Amino acid sequence: MQVNEQAHQSNQGTRKPPFFFREEYAGYIVKGNFMTLAAKPHLVEEGEWMSHQIVEQNRNLSGMLKIVQEADRSTGLPICNEKTCPAMSAGSTTYSWMDTNRNPINLPAPTYVKHIQTWVAGKIFDDTLFPTLTFQTPPTLPNPQQVSSDPNHWLGKTSGFPQRFESEIKNMYKQMFRCYAHLYWSHWLDFWNLGAHRELNTCFVHFVNVGRIFGLLSDRDTEPMQPLIDLWIRKGDLPQSKENESAQASATASTPTAAGSAASTASTAPPSSGADGSSA
């Protein structure tokens, strides 16, 4: 952990991005199209696909967390412990936990992570949220026109998921993202030293890909890891977020035609995106 901190301080002193934001360290253990891996099969209802993804993504995350949770033989302590990680942080971002009275409290990272794991597992095994009963006959999947014309439609309705299902899985996904953000900012060098940084990248890019395709993560949620996400977007490994697509569509619609005056163009054209200062 001391080496980890020294490396980050050195990067900050030279204004270099952390190693995990650099393209040479952003590789994976597999080759292929992550968007195809995340795409919903045509004959699978979206609620069923989302429930599958939540369970699968939680399994992948648990495997990554286990690396920093197992006790080190030399110290008897896990890599992530209350001394090395007194707060649940990701760079300059610190995450607070809500107590039973809905008051924010700061917890050591290992305690926060354990709370998330227990909470997510409890949601997954709650059969009122993730129903397990099978249908006597398969439900008829509505077509897009039927979905858009049904004012009472919600994600997973056809397969028996409750109306709160979408908001619940978005909250679960946001909390799971925070675990990944902490792993990168506080433990990336531990993964590097163990030769596991590409495994971490592979699990994380798949996680983010699902989150972006199905709108489970907002740009605000992903801010601590945005430079790495932007790098993967430039490489074509991730799609633009729905928020960015909407913003770009609005900007395109407001851009004047060639017949407009130069002054009009200067005042209404969308600003170019500035460098985030984090790419290699």
Binding-site positions for Zn(2+): 80, 85, 182, 187
Beta strands in 14-171 (DSSP E): 89-90, 93-94, 97-98, 104-105
Query: Nearest-CA neighbor of 176 among 241, 131, 124?
Result: 124
In whole angstroms, what is the distance from residue 115 CA to residue 109 CA? 10
Cite the annotated binding site by residue number. Answer: 80, 85, 182, 187
CA pair distance 47, 53, nearest whole angstrom: 10
Question: Cα–Cα distance between 272 and 253 in angstroms, integer?
Answer: 16
C-alpha to C-alpha distance for 157 and 134, rounded to whole angstroms: 14
DSSP tally for the chain: helices H, then strands E: 10, 4
